[in-house]
Amino acid sequence: MSEQSSESPSGVDADPAGLAERFAGLAERLAAHGQQHVLRFWDQLDAAGRDSLARQLAEVDLELLDQLVRGEDQSVDFGVLAARAEAPPSVRADGTGAEWSVAEARARGEESLRRGEVAVLIVAGGQGTRLGFDQPKGMFPVGPLSGRTLFQFFADRLKAVARRYGRTVPLYLMTSPATHEETLAYLQANDYLGLGRDDVHVFCQGTMPAVDRESGKLLLAERDSLALSPDGHGGTVAALQRSGALEAMRRRGIRQLFYAQVDNPLVPLADPELIGHHLMAGSEMTTQVVRKRFPMEKVGNVVLVDGRVQIIEYSDLPEQAAEMTDEAGNLKLWAGNIAVHVFELEFLARAADDPQRLPFHRATKKVPYVDERGQRVEPEEPNATKFERFIFDLLPSASHAFVVEGIPAEVFAPVKNADGAPTDTPAAAKGAIVDLHRRWLEQAGVNVAAGVQVEINSQLALDAGEVASAVAEGRLPAAGTTIESDQYFGG
């Protein structure tokens, strides 16, 4: 074949990889769903571009996308549901509500940790658009004085838990194509944060295409690639199975999975109390919540409807239902989701066998795209619909689900927005870490001068009790002394 013919207008004559056939197959499949426009630039693409576009398209479930675009799956009337909603079965922060004591729960959780039956799962696949940090969010330096990254913060806690219970707690880290390579490189460059190489498992979640919000047409991010984004933290279920992580956990004898988000440095990873409550309740999925401060607070509401625990998003909760109170005048729907869960591994395995169990949620977002002339457009208004699955939608399918109240100042300080925003900023999270560590020191009789910042590495002391021991043993300043200047107590 001459060089000239390889440059024919269609560009498909010199086609050793059978790209012409691929084009025909793709065009037919896409046309059946009104999505053939994504091949608009095919003739201008080189072989690598064609190959990558064809691969991306092969992954898209066009039937499902049709259904989502047509909204055929949207059948829940939250107004009706919310009217029937009640408070979920729970144990409150003061220990009331359960038939067992907090001490019993703690002992039970500690037993599981000592037997090595607990793993931690951190979801770190989000794009972190609100924070505007140009690396994966887990690499954000959250340590108020140490500058430790979120990943390092979690690793230090896991090392401390392992030391205390004499068994390692393996870390399963979910990334997405948006965060995978950089996260892996970071872990490799930092010796897996001091966790054993065999105790860190990174697996990547799937993606979903974004569509034009008006027409439902697939958007191209480039001439040779779709606008794809991670398929939501609900993508964890499929990704755990697909990656083999679920099976690896089984082989390792893991029975409970402690789930947390990468953006909450206060999350008490592998907390024996939470795990213990989960076990004592015979729960398949347990959720830690905080008490809502006001009826329409922007959190998911963990509620009980027709005997099933589920979450109704604040945006779906009618005001009337949000304002319902009990006999004592307290909010009936009081439990705010903070995305900390404990799962039975076998419950997740069952969920993974039934991929349709989790519905898709829609979000209208600004998604840059390439228009029909091949020009890149940075939209100023939300132009696209994204589809995501949420992990908490597993709650209703648990044969038994349970709720445990946590104290926000001890368990929740999310890093969502850039500094300057009213809430959930890095500054607020750093402040919460300092406040908590200051309280631990003060409880142990150490004074911290006003305005002075302190930070304690979990490896030195994991909680108030360990701070008290470290003070008594001289590993932290003595009781009765005053810390006069900012100090990081390292591991």
Binding site for ligand UTP (CB under 6 A): 123-131, 137, 174, 176, 205, 230-233, 235, 261-263, 416
Q: Could you tell me the smallest distance in angstroms from the CB atom of residue 185 to ligand UTP?
A: 17
User: Which residues lie closer than 8 Å to 285 by C-beta, 6 or more apart?
Assistant: 309, 341, 342, 343, 344, 347, 394, 395, 398, 401, 402
Q: Could you tell me the smallest distance in angstroms from the CB atom of residue 270 to ligand UTP?
A: 17
In this complex, which beta carbon is closest to ligand UTP, that of residue 278 or of residue 341?
Answer: 341
How open is the CA angle 186-189-190, to the nearest 5 degrees?
85
Cα atoms in the 13 Å half-sphere on the side-chain side of 116: 10
In this complex, which beta carbon is closest to ligand UTP, that of residue 35 or of residue 176?
Answer: 176
In this complex, which beta carbon is closest to ligand UTP, that of residue 57 or of residue 123?
Answer: 123
Residue 85: exposure state from Cβ atoms within 10 A (0-12, 13-18, ≥19): buried
In this complex, which beta carbon is closest to ligand UTP, that of residue 53 or of residue 124?
Answer: 124
Q: How many residues are given for the chain?
A: 491
Q: Could you tell me the smallest distance in angstroms from the CB atom of residue 358 to ligand UTP?
A: 12
Q: Could you tell me the smallest distance in angstroms from the CB atom of residue 127 to ligand UTP?
A: 5
In this complex, which beta carbon is closest to ligand UTP, that of residue 65 or of residue 85?
Answer: 65
Report yes or no: 386 and 229 within 8 Å, Cβ to Cβ.
Answer: yes
Q: Could you tell me the smallest distance in angstroms from the CB atom of residue 321 to ligand UTP?
A: 24
In this complex, which beta carbon is closest to ligand UTP, that of residue 176 or of residue 487?
Answer: 176
In this complex, which beta carbon is closest to ligand UTP, that of residue 151 or of residue 347?
Answer: 151
| Angle subtended by helix axes 235-242 and 245-252, to nearest 10 | 70
The whole-angstrom separation of Cα 282 and Cα 276 is: 10
Phi, psi at residue 126, to the nearest 5°?
-70, 160
Residue number of the CB closest to ligand UTP reads 126
Report yes or no: 204 and 180 within 8 Å, Cβ to Cβ.
Answer: yes
Q: Could you tell me the smallest distance in angstroms from the CB atom of residue 178 to ligand UTP?
A: 8
Beta bridge partners, 86, equal 304
Output the CA–CA distances (angstroms, integers) from residue 140 to 42, 132, 179, 227, 254, in the order listed.
39, 11, 13, 25, 29
Q: Could you tell me the smallest distance in angstroms from the CB atom of residue 231 to ligand UTP?
A: 6
